[in-house]
C-alpha cells in the first residue's frame, strides 16, 4: 500500500498544536511508517508554491491548526482544502476559534491600538500600523490583510473532522491519526475524542448536590482535593465540556476551562454553561442572586474562552 | 424608524403565562401584533441558547414569561430562570447587545390584563431601541456547523 500523504499547517495559533502532534511520543515512528509529511511549515522547509504545484486531492489528510484571522490564513485554508481529501480542524483554534477568537470582543482597530500603541513595551510615537501594501525603494511590499473578525476553519472551508483541545491531548491526537492510518474514519463531521459526555464523567472528584452561595477565583481558596471544584465555588467548566482529556486539570486542583468544546449535540457551549451554572446558585432572592453573580468578573470571556467565533453570536458588536 | 415594526419572541410557560395570554385573548384585551408566542412547559425550559438563537436570527426582543415565584408547576423551574436571565444580560452587555432586548416577567393565569400591559410596554421599549443590528446571522455568515 502506498504511504499516506499528510500536511500540517498553522494559521492563527500559538504553535502549541504543532508541539501536541509531536507529543504522541514513540508512536511517531508508526506514523512515519504509514505516512509521508508533504507540508509542515513549523517542521519542514516547504514553500506555499510547492503546495500550489501539487495536483488537487493529492494530499490524503491535512491537520489544520489555528483560527482564520488574516487573508493568508484564509488563502492557505482554501488551498489545502483543494489539495486534501480529508480536512481535519486540529485543536481548539481551528475547531472553535479559541484564544485568538477572544479578539472578537474587539475590532481590528482596537486590536491594533492595543498591540502597536498601548502595550507598555511598545514605543511607536509615529503610530505605524501594519499596511497591506507599502512602497520601499526596492519596490512594493505586501502583507496579508488582518481581518476584523476571527473565524473558525469550518466557517471558511468544508471540514471533515474536528479534533478538540487546547492543545489536543496525546491520546486524542493518536485516536485521530490511528483512524486515519487504519482507514477507519468515523462519519463526516465527527468530533474525534474518546468521550461524547462531559468532563465530569471522567473526573474522580466526589460529587454531591451542587449549591453555590459564592464564587471564588482559583487564587482565593485552597480547594479540598477530594470534592467537586464547582461545589466549592470554583468556576469549573467540566459540566459543559466534552470529555476525552481524562479530566487532567481538575485532578491537578485547577478548574476545567472548557478547551475540549461542547459536549455532543450542543451548539453554543457558553450558553449551556451559563444555564447549568446559574441554575445551581443557592438563592431565590433576586438581589442576592445579583450579588453572587457579581463575583464572576468577566462572564462572557470566561464562558466563551475557547468558543466565541463558533458561538451563536460570534463576536461582540462594537458601537 | 417610524415604520419599524419589531419582531418579538415571547416564551410563555404552559401553566401560567400562556393561560394569561389566552385570558387576554378571550377577554378581548388588545396586545401588540409584534409578539410571537412560543409555548414552553416551564420558563425553566427556556435555555439561554434559545434566547441567543432568537437574537441571532433576527428577533428584535425576547420576552420570557413565567409563573410568579413560588407558583411554579414544577416547584422551582422559574427560580432557575430568575438566576439565568441576569447572568445572560451581563453577557449580552459584554457582547455589545442592549440588555433591554431581553426581559423576564411573571404573569399568572389570571393576569390577562398584565400580559397585555407587559407586552405593550416591552414592544414600546423595543420600538425605542430600534431594530436588532445583528440582522440575520444565518445569512451573513457561511453556515458550517449551526445548520
CATH number at residue B100: 3.40.50
Assess contact for A269 and A231: CB atoms under 8 A: no
Nearest chain B alpha carbon to A294: B87
| Chain-chain contact of A300 with B95 (C-beta, under 8 angstroms) | yes
**Predicted model pTM:** 0.92
Phi then psi for residue A100, to 5 deg, are -55, -30
* Radius of gyration from C-alpha coordinates of chain B: 15
**Nearest to A277, CA basis, from A237, A241, A304, A217:** A237
A→B interface, C-beta within 8 Å: 105, 152, 154-156, 159, 189, 267-268, 270-272, 274-275, 277-279, 281, 283-284, 286, 289-290, 293, 296, 298-301, 303, 310-319
- Over residues B76-85, the pLDDT tens digits come to 999 999 999 9
- B115: three-class secondary structure by DSSP: helix
SS3 per-residue string spanning A72-96: HHHHHHHHHHHHEEEEEEECHHHHH
Question: What would the pLDDT profile of B102-132 be if each residue is shown by its tens digit?
Answer: 999 999 999 999 999 999 999 999 999 999 8
Q: What residues form DSSP beta bridges with A35?
A: A4
Q: Domain span at residue B45? A: 8-140
Q: How many CA atoms lie within 13 Å of A113's alpha carbon, on the beta-carbon side?
A: 6
In a domain, B135, yes or no: yes
Of B72, B6, B5, give the one whose Cα is nearest residue B45.
B72
Residue B35 distance to chain A (closest CA, Å): 23
> What is the number of CB-based contacts under 8 A between chain A and chain B?
101
Contact call for A312 and B146, based on CB within 8 A: yes
Question: Which DSSP string corresponds to A91-125?
Answer: SHHHHH-TGGGGGGGS-HHHHHHIIIIISTT---T
This complex has an ipTM of: 0.91
Question: CB burial class (10 A; 0-12, 13-18, 19+) of residue A244?
Answer: buried
pLDDT at position B145, please?
44
Chain A contact set for B88 (CB, 8 A): 274
Of B49, B133, B141, the CB nearest to A267: B49
Residuewise pLDDT in 10s, chain A (319 residues) = 689 999 999 999 999 999 999 999 999 999 999 999 999 999 888 899 999 999 999 999 999 999 999 999 999 999 999 999 999 999 999 999 999 999 999 999 999 999 999 999 999 999 999 999 999 999 999 999 999 999 999 999 999 999 999 999 999 999 999 999 999 999 999 999 999 999 999 999 999 999 999 999 999 999 999 999 999 999 999 999 999 999 999 999 999 999 999 999 999 999 999 999 999 999 999 999 999 999 999 999 999 999 999 999 999 998 7
Q: Which DSSP category does A262 fall into?
A: S
Q: What residue in B sits closest to A289 (Cα-Cα)?
A: B83
In a domain, B2, yes or no: no
B1 found inside a domain: no
**Residue B3 falls inside a structural domain:** no
> Is B145 within a domain?
no
Helix axes A170-182 and A27-34, enclosed angle (nearest 10): 30
Q: Which of A304, A306, A203 is nearest to A255 (CA)?
A: A203
Domain ranges of chain A: 4-99+149-182, 107-147, 199-303
- Chain B CB contacts of A283 under 8 Å are 83
Distance, in Å, from the CA atom of B106 to the CA atom of A284, rounded to the nearest integer, reads: 14
For residue B142, the chain A residues in CB contact (below 8 A) are: 155-156
Tell me, yes or no, whether B146 lies in a domain. no
Q: Which CATH number fits domain A4-99+149-182: 3.40.50.12780, 3.40.50.700, 3.40.190.10, 3.40.50.720?
A: 3.40.50.700
* Closest by Cβ to A289, choosing from B55, B83, B94: B83
Residues of B with CB under 8 A from a CB of A: 47-49, 52-53, 55-56, 69, 76, 79-80, 82-84, 86-88, 90-91, 94-97, 133-134, 137, 141-142, 144-146
Amino acid at each position: 500500500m502506498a504511504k499516506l500523504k499528510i500536511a500540517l499547517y498553522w494559521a492563527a495559533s500559538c504553535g502549541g498544536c504543532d508541539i501536541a502532534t509531536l507529543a504522541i511520543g514513540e508512536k511517531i515512528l508508526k506514523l512515519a511508517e504509514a505516512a509521508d509529511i508533504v507540508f509542515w511549515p513549523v517542521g519542514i522547509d516547504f514553500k506555499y508554491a510547492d503546495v500550489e504545484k501539487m495536483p488537487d486531492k493529492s494530499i490524503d489528510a491535512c491537520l489544520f491548526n489555528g483560527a482564520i484571522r488574516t487573508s493568508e490564513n484564509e488563502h492557505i485554508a482554501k488551498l489545502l482544502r483543494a489539495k486534501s481529501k480529508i480536512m481535519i480542524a486540529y485543536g481548539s483554534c481551528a475547531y472553535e476559534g479559541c484564544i485568538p477568537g477572544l479578539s472578537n470582543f474587539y475590532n481590528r482597530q482596537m486590536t491594533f491600538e492595543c498591540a502597536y500603541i498601548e502595550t507598555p513595551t511598545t514605543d511607536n510615537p509615529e503610530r505605524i500600523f501594519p499596511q497591506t501594501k507599502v512602497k520601499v525603494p526596492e519596490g512594493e511590499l505586501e502583507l496579508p490583510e488582518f481581518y476584523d473578525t476571527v473565524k473558525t476553519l469550518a466557517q471558511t472551508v468544508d471540514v471533515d473532522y474536528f479534533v478538540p483541545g487546547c492543545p489536543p491531548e496525546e491520546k486524542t491526537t493518536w485516536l485521530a491519526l490511528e483512524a486515519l492510518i487504519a482507514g477507519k474514519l468515523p462519519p463526516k463531521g465527527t468530533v474525534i475524542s474518546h468521550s461524547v459526555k462531559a468532563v465530569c464523567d471522567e473526573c474522580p472528584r466526589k460529587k454531591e448536590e451542587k449549591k453555590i452561595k459564592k464564587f471564588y477565583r482559583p487564587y482565593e481558596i485552597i480547594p479540598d482535593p477530594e470534592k467537586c471544584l464547582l461545589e466549592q465555588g470554583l468556576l469549573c467548566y467540566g459540566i459543559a465540556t466534552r470529555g476525552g482529556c481524562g479530566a487532567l486539570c481538575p485532578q491537578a486542583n485547577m478548574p476545567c476551562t472548557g478547551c475540549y468544546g461542547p459536549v455532543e449535540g450542543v451548539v453554543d457551549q457558553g450558553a449551556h454553561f451559563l444555564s447549568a451554572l446559574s441554575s445551581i446558585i443557592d438563592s431565590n432572592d433576586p438581589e442576592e442572586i445579583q450579588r453572587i453573580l457579581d463575583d464572576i468578573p468577566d462572564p462572557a470571556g470566561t464562558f466563551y474562552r475557547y468558543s466565541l467565533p463558533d458561538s451563536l453570536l460570534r463576536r461582540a458588536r462594537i458601537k | 424608524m417610524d415604520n419599524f415594526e419589531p419582531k418579538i419572541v415571547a416564551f410563555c410557560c404552559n401553566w401560567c403565562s400562556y393561560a394569561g395570554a389566552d385570558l387576554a385573548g378571550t377577554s378581548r384585551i388588545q396586545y401588540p401584533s409584534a409578539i410571537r408566542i412560543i409555548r414552553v412547559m416551564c420558563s425553566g425550559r427556556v435555555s439561554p441558547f434559545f434566547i441567543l438563537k432568537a437574537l441571532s436570527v433576527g428577533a428584535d426582543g425576547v420576552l420570557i414569561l413565567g409563573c410568579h415565584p413560588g407558583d411554579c408547576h414544577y416547584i422551582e423551574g422559574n427560580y432557575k430562570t430568575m438566576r439565568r436571565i441576569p447572568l445572560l444580560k451581563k453577557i449580552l452587555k459584554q457582547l455589545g447587545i442592549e440588555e433591554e432586548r431581553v426581559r423576564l416577567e411573571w404573569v399568572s393565569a389570571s393576569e390577562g390584563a398584565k400580559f397585555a400591559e407587559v407586552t405593550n410596554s416591552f414592544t414600546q421599549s423595543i420600538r425605542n431601541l430600534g431594530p436588532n443590528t445583528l440582522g440575520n446571522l444565518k445569512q451573513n455568515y457561511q453556515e458550517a456547523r449551526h445548520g
